[in-house]
């Protein structure tokens, strides 16, 4: 017969594993902090405009870090972003770093949330356009409006705390039933 302590430990193992997986899951940070520009694979020079969104309005620190074999290093240039509502924006001068491939790193909520856009090529040798040169443009009649698409799986951020709470409630029920069964067999 298995002792009551061993049964409690065995019942708690799946709960501990599931809780650890949910807490360590990067899916929650990805839904909370997002860099919308620049896009991966962009070539930039001069001032690099960085825009994105964050849930909760926490201050956002941004940096430009060298990328080596797919890994991002320590940021060489850093900036704090202005947060307005759920949107943030800032610019970083790329003239302070040598030409090469970089990552844009956003960190918020005391380091708990982060987002990275890789493969940003800094090429400060790009020449400025000739002064007085105007490319032909076409006017948009009627003022076209573009609606922002909702974030995919935006409601999944709520799923983690709900599953964690349900797991904790199940653990309390299993513990209670185990104690009840122990008293019943002892009597």
Q: Is 89 exposed, middle or buried (0-12, 13-18, 19+ CB in 10 A)?
A: middle
How are the residues of the chain apportioned to helix, strand and coil, as percentages rounded to the nearest 5? Answer: 35, 30, 35
Q: Which pLDDT score, from 0 to 100, does residue 123 have? A: 86
> By mean pLDDT, which of 5-19, 70-84, 134-148 is the weakest?
134-148
Tell me the domain boundaries of the chain.
28-129
The residue assigned the tokens 């302590």 is: 5
Greater confidence (137 vs 182) lies with: 182
Give the model's confidence band at 132: pLDDT under 50 very low, under 70 low, under 90 confident, else very high: low
Residues near 89 by Cβ (< 8 Å), separated by ≥ 6? 49, 50, 51, 52, 81, 82
Mean pLDDT of the chain: 76
- 117 has pLDDT over 90: no
Give the model's confidence band at 50: pLDDT under 50 very low, under 70 low, under 90 confident, else very high: confident
Task: Assess contact for 31 and 55: CB atoms under 8 A.
Answer: yes
Q: Which pLDDT score, from 0 to 100, does residue 28 have? A: 45
Between helices 156-186 and 4-24, what is the axis angle to 10°?
180
Terminal-residue alpha carbon distance, the chain = 17
Greater confidence (89 vs 19) lies with: 89
Average pLDDT estimate for 174-180: 90
CATH number attached to the domain at 28-129: 2.60.40.2550
Alpha-carbon gap, residue 167 to 13, rounded angstroms: 12
Task: Assess contact for 161 and 25: CB atoms under 8 A.
Answer: no
Alpha-carbon gap, residue 74 to 103, rounded angstroms: 10
Q: Which pLDDT score, from 0 to 100, does residue 171 have? A: 92
Average pLDDT estimate for 118-140: 67
Alpha-carbon gap, residue 109 to 56, rounded angstroms: 9
């Amino acid at each position: 017969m298995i002792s009551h302590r061993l049964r409690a430990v065995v019942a708690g193992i799946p709960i501990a594993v599931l809780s650890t997986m949910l807490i360590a899951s990067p899916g929650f940070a990805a839904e909370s902090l997002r860099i919308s520009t620049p896009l991966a694979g962009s070539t930039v020079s001069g001032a690099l405009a960085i825009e994105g969104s964050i849930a909760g309005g926490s201050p956002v620190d941004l940096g430009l870090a060298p990328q080596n074999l797919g890994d991002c290093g320590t940021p060489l240039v850093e900036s704090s972003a202005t947060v307005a509502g759920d949107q943030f924006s800032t610019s970083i001068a790329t003239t302070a770093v040598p030409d090469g491939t970089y990552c844009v790193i956003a960190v918020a909520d005391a380091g708990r949330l982060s987002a990275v856009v890789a493969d940003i090529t800094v090429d400060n040798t790009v020449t400025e356009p000739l002064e007085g040169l105007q490319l032909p443009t076409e006017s948009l009649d009627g003022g076209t409006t573009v609606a922002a698409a909702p974030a995919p799986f935006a409601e999944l951020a709520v799923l983690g705390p709900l599953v964690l709470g349900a797991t904790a409630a199940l653990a309390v029920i299993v513990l209670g039933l185990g104690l009840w069964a122990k008293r019943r067999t002892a009597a």
